[in-house]
Amino acid sequence: MASRRRSRASVVGVDLGATSAKLALVDGRGRVRDRRALSTQRYRGPRALIAVLVAELRRLIGGSVQGIGIGAPGLVNHARGLVHQFVNIRGWHDVPLAHLVARATGLPTVVDNDANVMALGELRYGAGRGTRNILAVTLGTGVGGAVIVGGRLYRGVSGSAGEIGHMTLHADGPACPCGNHGCLERYVGNQALEARARHLLKRRVSLEEVSRLARSGHRLACQLWREAGRHLGTALAGYVDLMNPERIIIGGGVAQAGPVLFRAIRETIDARAMRVPARAVRIVRAGLGTDAGIIGAAVLVREQLGQRQVIQ
């Protein structure tokens, strides 16, 4: 009986990324009970990826759960469960992801931008607890952002608020898949950082290794993360002046770089933002680690189930 109660209390959280998808059962206290993962790079279009995602969901669900929450990278119409565009995954244009997954699984399904769900997870269970005004930034293949104002997620008039990765850092910078030039993502996204690491270290190296080298004091590895921190700090300083947040939460794989990255972000904000809002904001690493997206997607579907506004 206790097992059945736990099953009913669970929802499924899905963190859908440009390279992989992570999914898990999450209980009512935000604890991950089971998890699966699959590659997303090998599927060229939405139909093939959704089919394998649904198959994995069915294996994971087994018994009775309340619903499915999905965090997806790119432009998402949360109210309609529609993915307008995945900037770093080709072939996704106005895909009714929530409806397709709900129809295939028989479970209420909600979809939102992956940074939004990460922010919800951190607000409820992680580094944002006790705050009401935050910016959450996800650093990975893409660079996403989410805005919490007054304790509530702010989506904007078209649902695309928070796209800090596509703010222009340098007007004449490299082309971005979004159609702009010089976006922040072109400087601190994984591909840009990996290319910079190859240039500095003269060999192919993973960002995980660069992070380990930086934590041990390696000069060139530290240089890479200081550069990344200055780029991030420059973009974030503008946000600090505009929105005066209590906290900026940095998540994703790049956030594991450690103190050298966060010092550079802090120093750049202090140098570029106005003194009063700069002193008020704390810069912290995401508290939920790589589970932030899964847990946040679970928070998303629980909130929507409570409001009875889910895609079925």
Single-letter amino acid code for the residue at 265:
I
First to last CA, the chain: 28
Residue 77 lies in a domain: yes
Residue 125 lies in a domain: no
d(CA 277, CA 247): 11
DSSP category for residue 155: -
Round to whole Å and give the CA distance between 213 and 203.
14
Contact 132, 246 (CB under 8 A): yes
| Domain co-membership, 31 together with 57 | yes
Coil, strand, or helix at residue 179? coil
Indicate if 160 and 243 belong to the same structural domain. yes
Say how far apart CA 168 and CA 171 lie, in whole Å: 6
Q: Are residues 224 and 264 in the same domain?
A: yes
123 assigned to some structural domain: no
C-alpha–C-alpha distance, residues 213 and 251, integer Å: 20
Amino acid residing at 304 = Q
Write b or e for each residue in 216-229: b if 16 or more Cβ atoms lie within 10 A of its Cβ, otherwise e: eebeebbebbbbbb
- The reply to whether 51 and 21 lie within a common domain is yes
Residue 29 in any domain: the answer is yes
Query: What pLDDT score was predicted for residue 63?
Result: 66
pLDDT given at position 2: 38
Judge if 185 and 253 occupy the same domain: yes
What six digits make up the tokens of 201? 């270290």
Same domain, residue pair 37 and 174: no
Phi, psi angle pair for 153, to nearest 5°: -65, 130
Question: Is 261 in the same domain as 275?
Answer: yes
Do 96 and 77 share a structural domain?
yes
Residues in the chain, total: 312
Domain count, the chain: 2
The answer to whether 230 touches 118, Cβ cutoff 8 Å, is no
Tokens matching residue 89:
């995954």
Low-confidence ranges of the chain (pLDDT < 50): 1-8, 309-310, 312
Domain membership of residue 73 (yes or no) is yes
Quick one: how far is CA 184 from the chain centroid?
Answer: 15
Distance, CA of 66 to CA of 190 (rounded, Å): 35
Give the Cα separation of 127 and 248 in Å (integer): 9
Query: What pLDDT does residue 4 have?
Result: 42
Q: How far apart are CA 264 and CA 139, in angstroms?
A: 15
pLDDT tens digits along 173-196:
999 988 999 999 999 999 999 999
Domain of residue 81: give its range: 2-117+291-307
- Do 178 and 279 lie in one domain? The reply is yes
Rounded to 5°, the CA angle 196-201-207 comes to 60
